Amino acid sequence: MIKIYSLDFNIEQIADSGQCFRINQTSPGTWRAAAFGRSLTIRRESERDYVFECSREEYDKIWLDYFDMRRDYGRIKELVRSANDPYLTAAVDYGYGIRILKQDLWEVLATFIISQRNNIPRIKNTVARLCEPYGDRFPPADVLTRYSERDFQALGLGYRARYVQNVSRAVVNEELNLDKLKLANYSDAIEYLKRFDGVGDKVANCVALFGLHKIEAFPVDVWIKRVVDERYGGSFDISRFQGYAGIVQQYMFFYERFLKKKQNPL
């Protein structure tokens, strides 16, 4: 067991932040995360105290980097607060425990294609059904090339089935080279990804942020567009947050969903 005390970690917030689809609450105060073919049980003992049910070796090898525990999020939050932006200050205070996960690149690419025009509960359900035959392992691209469009449709992918089918084939054929993508800078990675059917600007930026850990990426979905339009008059200067704009985006996304739910609880 590994005990974690942090002012900048909240597994419930991370699980509901829209950046990953395989962290789920299993019982009060307990969550299960699946990544890289492994699973981890996380127990909350208090607001700031957590227990990771794994060995020190496994924590150091997988979960330390997966949860981006080496990064000083406290410092980043102070930088955001120093911008004297009341909305962002409130967003940081509300989403204080969010961290940008370092996820498997292929899993992020496939799941964010699935995420298009979709909501988080439905995405999680679809991804769970997709992974069910493989336990903690997300099915690799060569496995998914054997799925027909009808197979994908049965899992609830809808029109996204064709996109997942095509991108799986592109990865297997090395038309989409994941190793090459890992070496690309942010702008080159975005342009490279957008060459493939089903990958637009939003999905490409999500892959850059959550799969390549390009913290400067700033995905704009319907929630972020709403924030920019309604809170900032249609223009948001991300250059104020150069080098960590993606973290700011997550605070905005998480907080805005909370505000809308508060306004419309049903």
Q: 246 and 209 in contact (C-beta within 8 Å)?
A: yes
Q: Are residues 21 and 109 in the same domain?
A: no
Question: What residue numbers bound the domain in which 17 lies?
Answer: 2-72
pLDDT at 265 over 80: no
In-domain check, residue 145: yes
∠62-199-12 over CA atoms, to 5°?
40
pLDDT at 15 over 60: yes
In-domain check, residue 143: yes
pLDDT at 266 over 60: no
pLDDT at 258 over 80: yes
Q: Are residues 44 and 117 in the same domain?
A: no
Q: What is the pLDDT of residue 260?
A: 82
Exposure on the CB side of residue 75, measured as CA atoms within 13 A:
5
Last residue of a domain, which of 16, 47, 72?
Answer: 72
Q: What is the pLDDT of residue 6?
A: 87
In-domain check, residue 83: no
pLDDT, tens digit, 9 for 90 and up, residues 64-96: 999 999 999 999 999 999 999 999 999 999 999
Q: Are residues 129 and 61 in the same domain?
A: no
Q: Are residues 41 and 117 in the same domain?
A: no
- Rounded CA separation 205/219 (Å): 5
Q: 33 and 23 in contact (C-beta within 8 Å)?
A: yes
pLDDT, tens digit, 9 for 90 and up, residues 216-253: 999 999 899 999 999 999 889 999 999 899 999 999 99
- Rounded CA separation 138/128 (Å): 9
Mean pLDDT of the chain: 92
Q: Are residues 131 and 59 in the same domain?
A: no
Last residue of a domain, which of 188, 210, 232?
Answer: 210
Q: Are residues 130 and 194 in the same domain?
A: yes
Band of residue 150 on the pLDDT scale cut at 50, 70, 90:
confident
Residue 32: beta bridge partners?
Answer: 24, 41
Q: What is the CATH number of the domain that holds 142?
A: 1.10.340.30
- Rounded CA separation 220/246 (Å): 10
pLDDT at 264 over 70: no
- Rounded CA separation 263/266 (Å): 9
Count CB-CB contacts under 10 A for residue 170. 19
Band of residue 255 on the pLDDT scale cut at 50, 70, 90:
very high
In-domain check, residue 249: no
In-domain check, residue 96: no
In-domain check, residue 191: yes
Residue 31: helix, strand or coil by DSSP? strand
Band of residue 97 on the pLDDT scale cut at 50, 70, 90:
very high
Q: Are residues 120 and 35 in the same domain?
A: no
Q: Are residues 141 and 204 in the same domain?
A: yes
**Tokens at 263, concatenated:** 């306004």
pTM, two decimal places: 0.91
Element (H, E) at 161: helix 160-172
What total number of domains does the chain contain?
2
Rg (alpha carbons) of the chain, rounded to whole number: 18
Residue 37: helix, strand or coil by DSSP? coil
In-domain check, residue 140: yes
What mean pLDDT do residues 8-32 have?
94
In-domain check, residue 239: no
Q: Are residues 7 and 54 in the same domain?
A: yes
Q: Are residues 190 and 135 in the same domain?
A: yes
Q: What is the CATH number of the domain that holds 56?
A: 3.30.310.260
| Residues annotated as part of the active site | 202
Q: What is the pLDDT of residue 28?
A: 94
